[in-house]
Amino acid sequence: MTNPDHASQLEKFGIKPFDLVVVNLYPFADTVRSGADEAATIEKIDIGGPSMVRGAAKNSATVAIITDPNDYALVASRIENGEGFSLDERRWLAGKAFAHTAAYDATINEWTAKHWPKPASIEQPVSEGETEVNEAKFPATFTRTWDRAHVLRYGENPHQQASLYLDPLNQNGFAHAEQLGGKPMSYNNYVDADAAWRAVWDFAPQIAVAVVKHNNPCGLAIGATVAEAHKKAHACDPMSAYGGVIAANSKVTMEMAESVRPIFTEVIVAPDYDADALELLQTKKKNLRILKVSEPPKTKTQFRQIDGGLLVQSTDLIDAPGDDPNAWKLVSGEPADAETVRDLVFAWRAIRCVKSNAILIAHDQATVGIGMGQVNRVDSANLSVERANTLADGANRTKGAVAASDAFFPFADGAEILINAGVKAIVQPGGSIRDEEVFEAARKAGVTMYVTGTRHFFH
């Protein structure tokens, strides 16, 4: 006991000091995950437990505080051997305890922010130059917490360390995927597979397959069957698909598994697998990471850390007014027929998941050429055409195809590359000060062009 006054008070009342305090808090996160109602959830907000934990942690000079069941074996060993904890060890345990109570309160705050939003009756002034904010999505203070689930072999590169953390209130989502075979997931595997998983659900309820590498699609397609969708997606860029990630939004069949078998693939992710398909993938491709995720993506908010801060935005979903083809404006050519509209809608949905600047060429609800990640739209257009027309069989896949651009054409030159390559229709956001020049280039060529009024940048 380091404080003489405290020691005398304990002696006065005949209270012996504690050497060890072990506390388990009420299972608030487990209660939320169980789907309990509000009353049952509130009942599991611990009051006394956190106070005991904080009190013991504050007195780490003489007290060891245990909040992690993983430390019970350590405590038992020390007791059996008649040993205590050193000051450094007690301080370390105190740090864990403070982290535990902080995470506990943050989890409660996350729940209350979702279920008890600011009522309309409370008015708060908006500073000049600022936009009114949705407090439920963008609270004044972010206190979300994640629990470390896996220490990964390394990060994006071998010299970087990495771990996977899980949201304690959410048992669904790609991070909770069940692994049915293959080597442990790497950092890059998670990044690419998550991108592929999100991409295919942009097309639900239609059956779709995506092939992704370095967080960019090598191919995307819709098919009557999952096997057909995979073959069409792979055909977009077979060379780049080598070592990629495959995602399907439908159960993987034996036919699809057979087509995947000869292709070197890092990860395959799907909501389910036919028994024979799973057996083939597990036995014939033992290094293939096989993931099963029962739920489509539900993330509504995205985070990106910058030096000294955090950027938060609502997730870019295919739900903006301009994503509805009925709202598109025809600015050139004849109205597209039903088949062309179908391909334009596919291309517009697919462009959402391509890194900007992005140009995508599609035919028969499949990508045939993707120009991604270029710093100008001309290079993206050239790349999309080049990739569409450099297959070994020499086929011209741009003639009669459609194209999509994730943002407006600042000049007519990008659109002219697509027009000269033979595309018959283009969909793009519009909004350039030179829109009329772009529209006129399409009109002269007799190419149908629609503007959406919605942009889908992806950085």
For residue range 370-389, list pLDDT tens digits in order.
999 999 999 999 999 999 98
Strand stretches in 293-391, DSSP E? 301-306, 309-314, 329-332, 359-362, 367-371
Q: What is the pTM of this model?
A: 0.86
What's 246's domain CATH number?
Answer: 3.40.140.20
Rounded Cα–Cα distance for residues 225 and 9 (Å): 77
376 and 259 together in one domain: no
The predicted-structure confidence for 177-197, as pLDDT tens digits, reads as follows: 999 999 999 999 999 999 999
Three-point CA angle 27, 302, 111, nearest 5°: 25
| Domain housing 252 | 171-292
Helix (H, G, I), strand (E, B) or coil at 331: strand
Bridge partners (DSSP) of residue 449 are 332, 426
327 and 275 together in one domain: no
For the CA atoms of 51, 57, 60, 64, what is the dihedral angle to 10 degrees? 90
The predicted-structure confidence for 398-442, as pLDDT tens digits, reads as follows: 999 999 999 999 999 999 999 999 999 999 999 999 999 999 999
Average predicted confidence (pLDDT) for the chain: 92
285 and 366 together in one domain: no
Three-point CA angle 414, 415, 420, nearest 5°: 105
Domain end residue (candidates: 252, 275, 292): 292
**Stretch (H or E) spanning 65:** strand 64-66
Contact present, 155 and 161 (Cβ < 8 Å): yes
What's 100's domain CATH number?
Answer: 3.40.50.1380
Helix (H, G, I), strand (E, B) or coil at 292: strand
Total count of domains within the chain: 3
> Catalytic residue numbers?
58, 214
In a domain, 153, yes or no: no
435 and 344 together in one domain: yes
384 and 345 together in one domain: yes
In a domain, 160, yes or no: no
In a domain, 193, yes or no: yes
Domain end residue (candidates: 97, 114, 131): 114
Please tell me the predicted confidence (pLDDT) of residue 202.
93
Domain end residue (candidates: 65, 89, 114): 114
268 and 175 together in one domain: yes
91 and 36 together in one domain: yes
Q: Which two tokens stand for residue 272?
A: 């389910």
Please tell me the predicted confidence (pLDDT) of residue 77.
92
